[in-house]
Amino acid sequence: MIYPIVAYGDPVLKKVAQDIEKGSLDVAKLSEDMFETMENAHGVGLAAPQVALNIRMFVIDTSVFDDENIASVRKAFINPVIEEEWGDEWPYEEGCLSIPGVRADVYRPSNLRIRYFDTDWKEHVEEFDGMTARVIQHEYDHIEGVLFVDHLSSIKKRLLKGKLSNISKGECDASYRMKFPVKK
Ligand code: NI
């Protein structure tokens, strides 16, 4: 099932999401639906708040980068905790399915260690670097109520203000179905 993707301006994107209680929902089915929603939108990651669910879960698929230097990782992360980040901060021009048409450089540390559950509720602790770490950091931000534009300087944010407010009103181009917080 393909969910509509929540657009910038919806309060669900600004909330700190809640841990999922084991057995309270079918995480395997939800993960399938989130992958389908992400792939339909040609994304590399999707967090539950982006499909209007205030829960701590995201999916990533870095095989989409189609670059042999990028390890391809396709995983669902449930109740993840980034335990540590290290390494030099490096810039990358990020985008977000909730903010179509906007891209900007964001600096993030190169390495991280994350603890999470998979869809069988098996716990893992793994380290990631490079683009995979980058995508995890972006999606992890989502479940903390943080968007990539929140990392920008106030001057850059001011420059984007009009564009962001247009997105929340549905004045943007996306090839996938979206849910806009401000109805005209
Ligand atoms: Ni995003």
- Domains annotated on the chain, with CATH: 5-179 (3.90.45.10)
* 151 three-state secondary structure: helix
> How many Cβ atoms sit within 10 Å of the Cβ of residue 167?
24
pLDDT value of position 157: 94
Q: Which residues surround ligand 1, an ion (CB under 5 A)?
A: 96
| Whether pLDDT at 184 is above 60 | no
Q: Known catalytic residue: 139?
A: yes
Q: How far apart are CA 104 and CA 67, in angstroms?
A: 21
pLDDT value of position 14: 98
Q: From 41, 48, 101, select the one nearest 77 (Cα to Cα).
A: 48
* 77 three-state secondary structure: strand
pLDDT value of position 180: 95
Q: How far is the CA of 125 from the centre of ligand 1 (A)?
A: 23
Q: How far is the CA of 149 from the centre of ligand 1 (A)?
A: 10
pLDDT tens digits, 57-109: 999 999 877 777 777 899 999 999 999 999 999 999 999 999 999 999 999 99
Q: How far is the CA of 18 from the centre of ligand 1 (A)?
A: 18
> Across residues 135-150, what is the average pLDDT?
98
pLDDT value of position 183: 67
Predicted confidence band of residue 182 (pLDDT cuts 50, 70, 90): confident
Q: From 38, 36, 37, 45, select the one nearest 77 (Cα to Cα).
A: 45
pLDDT value of position 69: 73
pLDDT value of position 71: 76
| Whether pLDDT at 176 is above 60 | yes
Output the CA angle 130-4-1, nearest 5 degrees: 90
Active-site entry in 39, 68, 126, 139:
139
Helices (H), the chain: 27-40, 130-143, 154-168
Q: How far is the CA of 139 from the centre of ligand 1 (A)?
A: 6
For residues 33-66, b (16+ Cβ closer than 10 Å) or e, as one string? Answer: bbbebbeebebbbbbbbbbebebbbbbbbbebbe
